[in-house]
Amino acid sequence: MKIQFHGHACFSIFTSEGAHLLIDPFLDENPLAKIKSETLSPDVILLTHGHWDHIGDTLKIAKRTNALIIANAEIASYYQLQGLTNLHGMNLGGGFQFPFGYVKMVPALHSSGITQDGKIIYLGNPAGFLLKIEGKTIYHAGDTALSHEMTLLGNANRIDYALLPIGGNFTMDTNDAILAAKALRARHVIPMHYDTFPVIAQNPSFYANQLLNYGIPCSVLQPEEILEVQ
- Give the residues lining the site for Mn ion (CB under 5 A): 53, 143
Name which of 24 and 184 has its Cβ closer to Ni ion. 24
Instruction: Tell which one of 24, 143, 173, 176 touches Ni ion (CB under 5 A).
Output: 143
Tell me which residue of 49, 11, 2, 45 sits closest to 30, measured CA to CA: 11
The binder of 74, among Ni ion, Mn ion, none, by C-beta within 5 to 8 A per type, is none
Question: What SS3 state is found at 121?
Answer: strand
Quote the least distance from Cβ 115 to Ni ion, whole Å: 13
Name which of 74 and 143 has its Cβ closer to Mn ion. 143
**Residue 173 is a binding residue for Ni ion (CB under 5 A):** no
Quote the least distance from Cβ 108 to Ni ion, whole Å: 9
Quote the least distance from Cβ 24 to Mn ion, whole Å: 8
The strand order across the sheet containing 189-192 reads: 95-98, 101-107, 127-133, 136-140, 161-165, 189-192
Stretch that binds Ni ion, among 1-9, 49-57, 127-135, 149-157 (CB under 5 A): 49-57
Name which of 50 and 223 has its Cβ closer to Ni ion. 50
**Residue 6 is a binding residue for Ni ion (CB under 5 A):** no
Q: Are strands 11-14 and 2-5 parallel, antiparallel or unpaired?
A: antiparallel
Question: What SS3 state is found at 149?
Answer: helix
Q: What is the CA radius of gyration of the chain?
A: 16
**Residue 136 is a binding residue for Ni ion (CB under 5 A):** no
* C-alpha pair distances (Å), 108 with each of 20, 22, 35, 123, 226: 24, 19, 28, 14, 26
Instruction: Tell which one of 8, 51, 140, 193 touches Ni ion (CB under 5 A).
Output: 51
Name which of 53 and 149 has its Cβ closer to Mn ion. 53
Enumerate binding residues for Ni ion (CB under 5 A).
51, 143
